[in-house]
Amino acid sequence: MADTNVNLPPGFRFYPTDEELIVHFLHRKASLLPCHPDVIPDLELYQYDPWELHGRALAEGNQWYYYSRRTQNRVTGNGYWKPTGMEEPVVSSSNSKRVGEDATAIKTNWIMQEYRLSDSASSTRSSKRKPQPKSDYNKWVICRVYERNGEEDNGTELSCLDEVFLSLDDDLDEISLPN
């Protein structure tokens, strides 16, 4: 998949909200329903390092999107994705019901948001259509991967030069300069 935007009409961009990722893409994938446009590929999540996603996942700007099977194995060839422990509910904008979960994992300066359907969303939705095995809902996730830019550090990490200049600034009060 060299040109990942090939299925989108000219001028269209792929910038879905969390709710849209879950309701319009992941729910349909888990329910074995067609998804239009069908632009998000299936990938083995932990087989690739994040910098290897180009050409394999749907790229939009500096973000990559793909479906994967949910797994506890977060090891890649060069390390692992470390879960942050933060899992946030994704709620519907129309009725404020929980439609899924957003779990975040990090790997060096890369961030992966792993979206999954909530158990309540899967049981509610599957009862409206043909009964689907609950395991179908729990085995798929949709991932958004992006590289964290340096601006998100809020200046807490200083470069070596910054530290040198700051230490010089501390000593200037004690130094008397010639007139």
Give me the pLDDT at residue 131, please: 52
Helices (H), the chain: 18-20, 27-30, 119-128, 134-139, 160-171
Indicate if the pLDDT at residue 154 is higher than 90. no
Place of tokens 């009409």: 9
| pLDDT (tens digit per residue) in 50-74 | 888 888 999 888 899 999 988 887 8
pLDDT value at residue 168: 53
Share of the chain above pLDDT 70, in %: 69
For the entire predicted model, the pTM comes to 0.70
Top pLDDT among 82 and 170 is at 82
Mean of pLDDT values over 31-59: 86
Helix/strand/coil for 140: strand
Higher-confidence position of 168 and 13: 13
From the list 18, 23, 43, 46, the residue with the least C-alpha distance to 33 is: 23
Residue 112's pLDDT is: 92
Query: Tokens at residue 140, please?
Result: 């798929």
Structure tokens, 159: 């470069």
